[in-house]
Amino acid sequence: MAELLADHTTLRVGGPAGDWVEAGTEADLVEAVAAADERAEPVLVLGGGSNVLVADDGFAGTAVKIATRGVTADVDDDGATCGGVMVTVAAGENWEAFVGRAVERGWVGVEALSGIPGAVGATPIQNVGAYGQDVAQTIASVRVWDRKLRGVRTFANADCGFGYRHSRFKADPGRHVVLEVTFQFTQGDLGAPIAYAELARTLGVGVGERVPMADVREAVLGLRRGKGMVLDIDDHDTWSAGSFFTNPVVAPDAVPAGAPTWPAEGGVKVSAAWLIEHAGFGKGYGVQLTDGRASLSTKHTLALTNRGGASTEDLLAVAREVRAGVENAHGIRLVSEPVLVGCEL
């Protein structure tokens, strides 16, 4: 029987895959992708399925689930000093488990990225970020299989084209299969300077101060749980793909009065959650539209959630209403953050 992609995505939607391969080694991964390319068959690379929305019709090609493992540090734990460490991680390693390990070992710089689901190999794709950190701050290089050149390549950080929820890998969709990510960490007990006001308030310190990494991790996990942003099978608010819309970057004079903003390259980044709420969409919006199957999270307006039994079309119906309402109210068109596979907003 065909593998149902709904069983491999955190939104728990998506029809069958034409073919399904679980690749436990790098050789198997490259072989599966290269063989499908040779047959001119579409390929869907999947990590944890936490940032995709797959069509109800599924994916008519080969879906390759990355299950490679391995974390290698270039210094022994015993020899750990303040000198720094390079850590190479296989694409299939779980991100949240890796962050836990980093905090335990004193590898500084990803502690604020606690609680984010998915695999390490996906983190460079959209330059995963939260609470003032993103992976571009600690990634040294990304090793990939280049499907166009049919060879392995390594991109140094400066060549990854990292931006807000963006990279060269996202700009050129499907071309690069991330095999390994190498991080460069400083070492110590204190986390990187706190760069996010809400996190600083929770920790009772000022922005720019440093506190033990374990405290940062705990505070972030607490904040995220309160927003339904830590996976929990019993909590439908976490049956999501995280934030469904990115915070739009607009010209300073296009910012609606009162909207929270952050500095950004090319303009000002505006809170998408604020835009949604101030266009009349509250937490839980969408229940009526979909007979209770899909809605905005009841904890956080930026997350689109499956309340149980939702289809991809149900989720898209809510997303379309919200996007149209925000455009009407504020003249700003929201862009979806998850990768849409075989469907359109």
CA neighbor of 68 nearest in space, from 1, 143, 129, 18: 143
- d(CA 35, CA 129) in angstroms, rounded, equals 33
Catalytic residue among 50, 114, 167, 243: 243
Give the interface segment with ligand FAD, choosing from 70-78, 96-104, 117-125, 209-217 (CB under 6 A).
Answer: 117-125
Nearest alpha carbon to residue 281 among 239, 315, 324, 252: 324
Helices and strands (H, E) in the chain, number of each type: 7, 18
116 binds ligand FAD (CB under 6 A): yes
Contact pattern for ligand FAD over residues 203 through 242, marking x by CB under 6 A: --------------------------x-x------x-xxx
Q: Is 52 in the site for ligand FAD (CB under 6 A)?
A: yes
Number of chain residues interacting with ligand FAD (CB under 6 A): 34
Of 80-88, 104-112, 114-122, 203-211, the window that binds ligand FAD (rule: CB under 6 A) is 114-122
Gyration radius of the chain over CA positions: 20
For residues 17 and 63, is the Cβ–Cβ distance under 8 A? yes
Per rule CB under 6 A, is residue 47 in the interface with ligand FAD?
Answer: yes
290 binds ligand FAD (CB under 6 A): no
The interface with ligand FAD within residues 155-194 (CB under 6 A) comprises 176-178
Contacts 24+ apart (CB under 8 A), 234-239: 236/305, 236/306, 236/307, 236/308, 237/297, 237/298, 237/299, 237/300, 237/303, 237/305, 238/10, 238/305, 239/10, 239/11, 239/12, 239/305, 239/306, 239/307, 239/308
**Which one of the listed residues 143, 165, 224, 293 is annotated catalytic?**
165
Least distance CB 312 / ligand FAD (angstroms) = 14
* 99 in contact with ligand FAD (CB under 6 A): no
Does 311 qualify as catalytic in the annotation? no
Per CB under 6 A, which region of 119-127, 184-192, 209-217, 257-265 contacts ligand FAD? Answer: 119-127
Using DSSP's 3-state secondary structure scheme, residue 214 falls into: helix
Assess 326 for contact with ligand FAD (CB under 6 A). Answer: no
- Per 3-state DSSP, what percentage of the chain is helix, strand, and coil (rounded to 5)? 30, 25, 45
Which residues contact ligand FAD (rule: CB under 6 A)?
10, 44-52, 66, 91, 116-119, 121-123, 125-126, 128-130, 176-178, 229, 231, 238, 240-242, 339
Q: Which residues are tagged catalytic?
A: 165, 243, 337
